[in-house]
Amino acid sequence: METQNLMKTRIGTKETEALKPAVVKIISVRIQEKTKEGKEMSTPLVHLECKHPDREELISLSKAKFEKNGKLEVVGLWAQTDEEGLFKKSSAVSVVLRFLKCASLEEVYTKEIETVKQAEDINYLCLKAY
């Protein structure tokens, strides 16, 4: 959209429709290695591309909610690896893999997992791994 058109654009009346938490099916995995600006990321981010029952297109989930030290936390699915090249035991990716009973990201295809709102006041969905 051109800047001139934006200058004349008025306030709309339609709210953005937020997806409700539901069980989703993991269709594919995408590893993000560059930022939107094209810069190399120091730690890649794992995106699970999922089929939500209320949306025709796939949704991309890159955060998980799980219990840590007695509290629920929302953490990005950063592909943190140890000196042996394995996912760090305490990383969010490892937590999700254990929750799904999978040994690697290759095994998550077609698995189903619940989603939840990231927080009471944040409507974005994340994976429920608790």
Domains of the chain, by residue range, sit at 17-128
d(CA 114, CA 22): 6
Confidence of residue 3 (pLDDT cuts 50, 70, 90): low
Burial grade of 11 (CB within 10 A; 0-12, 13-18, 19 or more): exposed
> Residue 110 in contact with residue 49, Cβ under 8 Å?
no
Provide the β-strand partners of residue 34: 40
Residue 78 tokens, joined: 């950063």
d(CA 104, CA 93): 9
Question: Residue 68: pLDDT above 70?
Answer: yes
Residue 27, CA atoms < 13 Å, CB-side half-sphere: 12
pLDDT digits (tens, 9 = 90+) for 10-26: 898 887 778 999 999 99
Taking the model in full, what pTM does it have? 0.86
Residue 56 tokens, joined: 């025709």
